[in-house]
Amino acid sequence: MGYLPIFIELEGKPCLVVGGGVVAARKAQRLLQSKAEVTVVAPVLCVELETHRVERAVRHLAREILPQDLLGCCLVVAASDDAEVNRRVARLAQERGILVNVVDAPQLCTFIMPSIVDRDPVQIAVGTGGASPVLARLLRARLETLIPSSYGRLASLMRAFRERVKARFPNTRDRRRFWEAMLSGPVAELLFSGRENMALSYLEQALDGSADVPDAVGEVYLVGAGPGDADLLTFRALRLMQQADVVLYDRLVAPEIVALARRDAERIYVGKQRDRHSLPQAEINQALVNLAREGKRVLRLKGGDPFIFGRGGEEIETLSQEGIPFQIVPGVTAASGCACYAGIPLTHRDFAHSCVFVAGHLKDGALDLNWSALVQPKQTIVVYMGLHGLDLLSRGLIDNGLSPAMPAALVERGTTLRQRVICTSLEGLAKKIAECEVQPPVLVIIGEVVKLREKLAWFESTQQSGLLEEPLFRSSLEGGTPG
Ligand code: SAH
């Protein structure tokens, strides 16, 4: 079978759907989205179609199909659950030269409905020639993740400027170069990150400017890479990783995640270890500024979320002072990643009504914490960077009234295939660290909720299952200080 993918204009055109069930409803919905005039022929309607009928979105003929129903129809969909009815509809339509789609019977179809990625007015249609609708849906899902939801707004913006750009650049080649510069430069990115007014004024300036085609300006993306499992990246993080020219990453970012950056992107390691900064923070801040000034799209990849113990604020402050455009993408922070993968809800109606995140690293050998705020009833305490001060931390909490028997968990390399969860009590924490030779990065969760792990644990690391003998990435995850 040969197919020609085309887009048909259906606004106001009569279309027929035969069948009153959920499949018919889905097809009718698609037709309604293209503003067709839909008639449904079926003795009974499902709830969704009935709603459409009541709202007068569709016309309903409450009976079996008759040949005259097809009169003047632009296209027909046979979606009844009776194969014989569907075959009859297909024959009637074909005899009259009307396009027909029969659900689950590609051999009877004269057109097939593709899977759609809808970014109105942009539409991406995926078809497999009827071979596998499931495959088409999977492909569609992939495209959904790659194409920002605001693509439609981008297309609308381009449409609004089309005539002006045409007048400004009468030559097709210049026009194409202009649009390419706009779309691969900041306009698209400004729009995708919700800064529509800035995108507009950038376009205006570029059009009014005397330069033929404006130079692309650099930008910095401060992106949270999540706690380790690459699947926990956001769509936006992945998209920016695939378009950045240079990537600055640190110790907490797993190699599999760095590997997802554009193949030819320059990769710069700026990682730190506890007490041994390989690149001082000020130098990282400056490097971001310099690279962006060179016109590059710079991706600053941080473990977890950039604004939770991530010094994201400091890096952005420098960029803002220097007038470099930037955007910030949140990531799954270690607390929520580790808690979920360990089966420990951070809040719970019976056990925890609040949750505090605290940095447990030592300053001059001491912990500077607001103990009374930490020791509160029904509160979960999550300690980041606590490995080296854990003895002091548990003593401080106990001295301030927290029960020594309070359940506590150590989550080592959380969310990765080498995750290890060790449950103990508040007073037992420091001993366990030595006993089990716990390695960073480690997150500590203290509170009644830890008990729930007994029932809720679900993620089995390969270490526990014995599937993996060799460490996946030995040194890369050994973070200690904020990255
Ligand atoms: N911005 C990061 C935190 C950086 S501070 C975030 O939002 O997650 C570094 C600390 O985070 C580590 O010392 C450790 O306590 C914690 N951490 C980060 N990733 C972790 C992981 N995969 N498992 C356990 N703890 C982790």
pLDDT at 212: 47
For ligand 1, atom 2, the nearest C-alpha belongs to 304
Residues written for the chain: 483
Query: What pLDDT digit, counting tens, does each position of 198-210 carry?
Result: 889 888 888 887 5
Separation of alpha carbons 342 and 340, rounded Å: 5
SS3 17: strand
For ligand 1, atom 13, the nearest C-alpha belongs to 385
pLDDT at 273: 56
Separation of CA 421 and ligand 1 centre (Å): 14
State if residue 480 touches ligand 1 by the CB under 6 angstroms criterion. yes
Q: What residue has token string 């003795």?
A: 43
Contact 263, 272 (CB under 8 A): no
Considering just the CA atoms, what is the radius of gyration of the chain in Å?
A: 29
For ligand 1, atom 18, the nearest C-alpha belongs to 334
**Which regions in the chain score pLDDT beneath 50?**
211-214, 470-483
Query: What pLDDT digit, counting tens, does each position of 262-295 carry?
Result: 889 999 999 765 555 567 888 999 999 999 999 8
For ligand 1, atom 5, the nearest C-alpha belongs to 482
Residue 110: HSE in the Cβ half-sphere, 13 Å Cα cutoff:
16
pLDDT at 34: 93
What's the one-letter identity of residue 392?
Answer: L
State if residue 333 touches ligand 1 by the CB under 6 angstroms criterion. yes
State if residue 385 touches ligand 1 by the CB under 6 angstroms criterion. yes
Main-chain phi, psi angles of 381, to 5 degrees: -110, 125
What six digits make up the tokens of 281? 């923070």
SS3 242: helix
Separation of alpha carbons 277 and 99, rounded Å: 68
What six digits make up the tokens of 186? 């900041």
Active site residues: 250, 272
Separation of alpha carbons 380 and 397, rounded Å: 12
For ligand 1, atom 11, the nearest C-alpha belongs to 384
What six digits make up the tokens of 191? 């729009």
Residue 306: HSE in the Cβ half-sphere, 13 Å Cα cutoff:
22
Among candidates 16, 147, 167, which has minimal Cα distance to 92?
16
The CB density around residue 238, as the number of other CB atoms within 10 Å, is: 17
CA distances from 456 to 17, 444, 451, 459 (A): 47, 18, 9, 9
Task: Return the ligand 1 atom nearest residue 483 CA.
Answer: 4
pLDDT at 23: 96
Separation of alpha carbons 273 and 111, rounded Å: 61
Report the predicted TM-score, pTM, of the whole model to 2 decimal places.
0.76
pLDDT at 214: 47
Separation of CA 208 and ligand 1 centre (Å): 47
State if residue 312 touches ligand 1 by the CB under 6 angstroms criterion. no
pLDDT at 2: 83
Separation of alpha carbons 143 and 133, rounded Å: 15
pLDDT at 100: 97
Contact 296, 246 (CB under 8 A): yes
Among candidates 298, 149, 306, which has minimal Cα distance to 225?
306
pLDDT at 276: 55
pLDDT at 193: 86
State if residue 360 touches ligand 1 by the CB under 6 angstroms criterion. no
Separation of alpha carbons 242 and 260, rounded Å: 7
User: DSSP assignment, residue 422?
Assistant: E
* Ligand 1 mutation pick, 234, 251, 252, 459, max ligand atoms within 8 A of CB: 252
What six digits make up the tokens of 261? 């950056």
State if residue 304 touches ligand 1 by the CB under 6 angstroms criterion. yes
pLDDT at 217: 63
State if residue 303 touches ligand 1 by the CB under 6 angstroms criterion. yes
State if residue 442 touches ligand 1 by the CB under 6 angstroms criterion. yes
Separation of CA 442 and ligand 1 centre (Å): 7
